[in-house]
Each structure stands twice: as structure tokens, then as C-alpha cells.
Chain A
Amino acid sequence: MKIAVCIKRVPDMEMRFSIAVDRTSLDQTGLKYEMGDFDGYALEVGLQLVEKQGPGEVVVISLGPEGVQEILRKGLAMGATRAIQLKADQVPFDGLAIARALAEELKGGNYDLIMFGRMATDTANGTVGPMTAELLGLPCVTGISQLDIGQGNGTARRDLEGASETVHFPLPAVLTIDEGIARPRLASLKGIMAAKKKPLETKPAQLGSISLTVERMELPADRPPGRIIGEGADAVPELLRLLQTEAKVL
């Protein structure tokens, strides 16, 4: 089984962000980067599939500047076989451009499965996976919370608002993975050492024309500072009064 997992380098979301002087990007000072949350789940699912149903290989692919090599090495340390960096000075906001570059790389790869996280934790669009599938003409299931891969086909569950769907699909397919399906493993020391010797190939990203761009980035207005209105159950009538007359939400 041959699996590609597309991963994105995203800033650590627990940091305080500030906007760069160009007003269209984040100030890079002190930013720490990591693999996107959902991408970690996708990689874990891919690794487990090859371990259980091998032989095979897991290829991690990331688009972006030199820094993405760090998360590719992390993917290799977790157990991926090899890595590909699609080199671009920056990752555009345009999902179709990214999908085009990925499809160009993936099309000749004979992958049984191409996996993504449900969305990138930074830009929160979730468009690249299904767009890549369409460009490759492959079946696609998004937001998968349970997955079962059989001989040449699979069954997935995807959660909707207040409901869930059971979806059947043939292989090869493109899948996007939701949280909670399998907790990403930590890289072992042995894995980290082995990763240094695994192949990491770098190629230019074929992004094509870009039609979706960032016009401006701003920090949202801070919420007014919190207010403690009282202690214990005796504060409840005052809370109710404020909700009715001041906030007017009841």
C-alpha cells in the first residue's frame, strides 16, 4: 500500500500573534512552528494502515519555504518512509493554487491513498484536500472520524451537525481526516536518528496563477475585560437580572 500524507507547517497557535508592517502577514519574530493538528492525525492513520496492511510506504509532502523541512523530518521520525518538499517562498492563501501544485506532484505517484488533515489549523479553510481530489479525478471523502480500509475499497464515517454519515468509496482515493481518529505517536529517539538518513527531496512548487490573496490582516478587538459579579449561589439573581436587562440575551 502506497500512501501520501500532505502536511502543513503552521505557527504554534498558543502564541500571541502580531501583524507585520506590511499588514498582510504575521510578524515572524519569535514564531514557533509545528505540524498542523489534523495533519498529525492523518499521518498517524497512514502509518497505522501500512503497519497493519503492509508492505508499503508513507510519503510525507509539504509545500512551503525551507522551514517546512523541519516538519517533514518530524514526519520521517514518526515513521514515514520518505519526504518531498514542494518549494515555495510562502504558502499562498489560494487553496486551488496549492491543490494544483500538489496534484502535479501526486499524479504520477500511483498512491492508493492521499491523505490530508481536515483543515490547516492556521488558515482554517479545508479546501486543498477536496480540490486536489477533483484535479486528480479521484474519489474523495472529507472530515473522516472513523476509517476502515479493505481490499480496494473503504468505509468511513463523517460527522455532520447533529448527525453522521457512513460513506463507501473505492481506492485510490483522497481522504481528509478529523481529530480523534488516532492519536499521533511521539517520535522515538531511534526514529529521530533514523529520520536523518531518510530521503528528503526538494522540487519547485508549480502553483500557477493565484486569484485569492490576503488584502489585510488585523487582530480582532479585545473583549472587554471580564467582570466577576459575585460569589456563590446568592449571585444568581443578579446574574439573571444582568442577562435580561443589560446583555438582553434572555
Chain B
Amino acid sequence: MAAFLAFAESRAGRLRKVAFEAVTAARQAADRAGGHEVHAFLIGAPGIGQGVEALGKHGADTVFVVEHPALERYSPEVYSATMAERVRAGGYRGAFFTASAEGRDLAPRVAARLGVSLASDVTGFEFQNDSLIAQHPAYTGKVNVTLRLTGTPALLSLRPGFVTPAEQPRAARVESVEPAMDPAAARVTVSELAQRSTTKLDLGEAPIIVSGGRGLRAAENFKLVEDLAAALGDAAVGATRAVTDDGWRPPTDQIGQTGRLVSPDLYIAVGISGAIQHLAGMRTAKTIVAINKDKDAPIFKIADYGIVGDLFEIVPRLTAEVKKARSS
């Protein structure tokens, strides 16, 4: 029987949104193949098993739960050894990961352990008889590549945010699994997990991103961008490379060729001229708004809605109008 497996990513004992994306994708693949089973793989410290119900709600028939006190934080070796063993034992047609920071670390390791290749950062997939056909944006989003991966199991990692989690409730069965290696024998250990902020949305998960560039003139003026993001609600703050290089914002906020690649529903570019390296990171946003004083700035060539003028007048007005609209 050709079942599908999904890796359910968690952090600090809680399932992440990408876990539901992986399970939802596995459910779609299983249903298209004629209603096969979906299994999820959940690993962490004791208590992580509480996530089983939520995974069942998104379509998992069985959840394999690995609980161990030493797995409070990510362990690349224990995770990859145990996941590889599960893939081997389950005889799966396909195994889904997400191309998150953790998934990008884990999936290639599991693939190499199994001696199979991996279709990574995938934005579309179809299982055919002996092949997986997968879409993968490459060359900084300038070329869409269609890949053929032959052989079983087919491993793939999904671009975060590409699959919308959908509920398809099952009463998931639970199977407890022991770690495939003694966690105490792991050579690589994670000693600390520092959450930057528990309230702020991640750039990869936010439906709206407000991003600032050199046009803001000084680090403290990012307050304008932050205020607008706060007024919009589900919004994260990004920046251009010029801004992160100058230390106005942390490097992790950088959107662009060498930073984060994002595709939110709404991207508001404030004081950003639109260098090609920046466009590479955000050109797939559904709707782009640009606010810039230079009407010839390249950002206006791709912005669905542009306003030319002084951002120091336009942005506070926009923040005020958004607040007004949301309160009415």
C-alpha cells in the first residue's frame, strides 16, 4: 500500500504552521492517488504527543510519536536517523518535509541516509506512476524549473506558505516509536533556542509584509514602518539589504536574493528603489504597493499600486486611515 508520510515540525513543544502544511499536502497526494493513508511523524520532548489531535484534524490517519527527555530541542542526528528508519519501515510512496530552516537541515540528511534524492523548496507537485513531478523556483525566482524525481520513496520539501492548511478530520491512531539512536550519543547538540519575539509574525508566515529601504534615512524612522504593520494586524516588518548592512535592522529581516524569499498577499515597499536583488525576494507577492519619492524608481515597474511622494507624509496618513477603516 502506497501511503504518504509527513514530517510534523515543532518548536519549543508546539507544532508549527508548516507541520499542517506538510500533512495537508500529504493528504492531497494520498487522496489523488485513490485514498491512501497519511502518516505523520512527530518528535520532541515528552508532551509533544499532544499535537496528535491537531495532526488528525488535518488528515493524518496515524501519527508516529517519538518522545524523549533529551529531545527538548532539535537534534539533527536523532531526528534524521529516526525519520529515515520510519520512511524505510513504512514503504511510503512519498515523504513530505517543508523547506523551513529545520526542514532544509533535516530533509537532505534523511534523503542521503536512504540513498535517494530530494526535490527541495517545491511549489507544486504531482505523483505519477514512477515519478514525482515537482515545480521549483530557481535562479532567484527568475526561472521556474519542473523537476522529475524517479524512484520510491520520493522525498520533497515544500516551500513554506505554498500549501494552505486544510482540515479533513480523522481520529488519528498513535504509535509510539523509540529514537533510532541514543540521544546522549549525538555529536551535534543544540544548547539554546533564543526566540527573537513570541508576538511578532515571521516573514515567511505573515500574510502582509511592510518593508523599508534607505528612503527612511535613519534607523529610528523604521517606527513608521512598524506602526503601519501594527495597524494592519497580521503584518511583519522586512528590510532591504542596504538597510541590514547598515545595521538599521537585523540581518534576518533582509528580503532579497541573499535574504528571505517571501510571497505574502500584500507587500508594501516603503522608501525602496527596487534593486534587482530586492525584487528577487518579493516579486511573487500577490499584491505590491510602493511608496517612493522618485517616480522613476524600478519598484514602480512591478508595483500594482504606486504612490509618488514623501513617505514621511504618506505612511503616517496610511497608518491613520488603516486604523480608521479597521475600527469602523
Q: State how many angstroms separate the Cβ of A25 from the closest Cβ of chain B.
A: 10
A-chain residues with CB within 8 Å of residue B70 when the two chains form the complex: none
Mask of A93-113 contacts with B, CB within 8 angstroms, 1/0: 111110100000000000000
Chain B CB within 8 A of A186 CB: no
Question: Given A134-B112, A232-B313, is A213 in contact with B118 using a C-beta cutoff of 8 Å?
Answer: no
* A193 interface residue (CB < 8 Å to B): no
Closest chain B residue, CB of each to CB of A13? B140
A162 in complex: contacting residue of B133, B196, B244, B286, CB < 8 Å: B196
A235 close to B (CB within 8 Å) = yes
Across the interface, name the chain B residue whose C-beta is closest to A37: B258
**Which B residues are in CB contact (< 8 Å) with A139?**
77, 187-188
The 8 Å CB contact of B109, one of A93, A130, A158, A159, is A130
With beta carbons under 8 angstroms apart, the residue of B112, B259, B304, B313 that contacts A224 is B304
Which of B118, B144, B160 interacts with A127 by CB under 8 Å? Answer: B118
CB-CB under 8 A from B286, the residues of chain A are 247, 249
Taking CB atoms, residues of chain A closer than 8 Å to B121 are 124-125
List which B292-328 residues lie within 8 A (CB) of chain A: 295, 299-310, 313-314, 317-318, 321-322, 325
B290 at the interface (CB under 8 A from A): yes
| Cα of A125 to Cα of B108 in the assembled complex, Å | 10
Picked from A95, A97, A229, the residue with its CB within 8 Å of the CB of B307 is A229
The answer to whether A194 has its CB under 8 Å from any CB of chain B is no
Query: For residue B191, which residues in chain A have a CB less than 8 angstroms away from its CB?
Result: 166-168
Q: Tally A-B pairs: CB < 8 A.
A: 272
B1 at the interface (CB under 8 A from A): no
> Majority SS of interface residues in chain B?
mixed
B318 touches A240 (CB 8 A): yes
B109 near A131 with CB under 8 A, answer: yes
Minimum C-beta distance from B245 to chain A (A): 8
A226 proximal to B (CB < 8 A): yes
Contact-size category for A: 35 or more
Min Cβ gap B256→A in Å is 10
Note all chain A residues with C-beta closer than 8 A to B139: 11, 13, 17, 26, 122-124
Q: Answer whether residue A51 sits at the interface, using C-beta atoms and an 8 A cutoff.
A: no
Complex Cα–Cα for A232 and B149 (A)? 52
A-B contact list, 24 entries, CB within 8 Å: A17-B139, A96-B116, A127-B107, A130-B112, A140-B76, A145-B251, A159-B251, A160-B100, A161-B101, A161-B203, A163-B194, A164-B196, A165-B192, A213-B147, A218-B144, A219-B144, A223-B302, A223-B304, A225-B301, A226-B290, A226-B303, A229-B306, A249-B266, A249-B286
Task: Show the binding face of A for B, using Cβ within 8 Å.
Answer: 11, 13-14, 17, 19, 26, 37-38, 93-97, 99, 121-135, 139-143, 145, 158-170, 179-180, 211-220, 223-233, 235-237, 239-240, 242-244, 247, 249-250
For the complex of A and B, 6 pairs with smallest distance between CB atoms: A134-B112, A232-B309, A127-B108, A216-B146, A131-B112, A233-B317
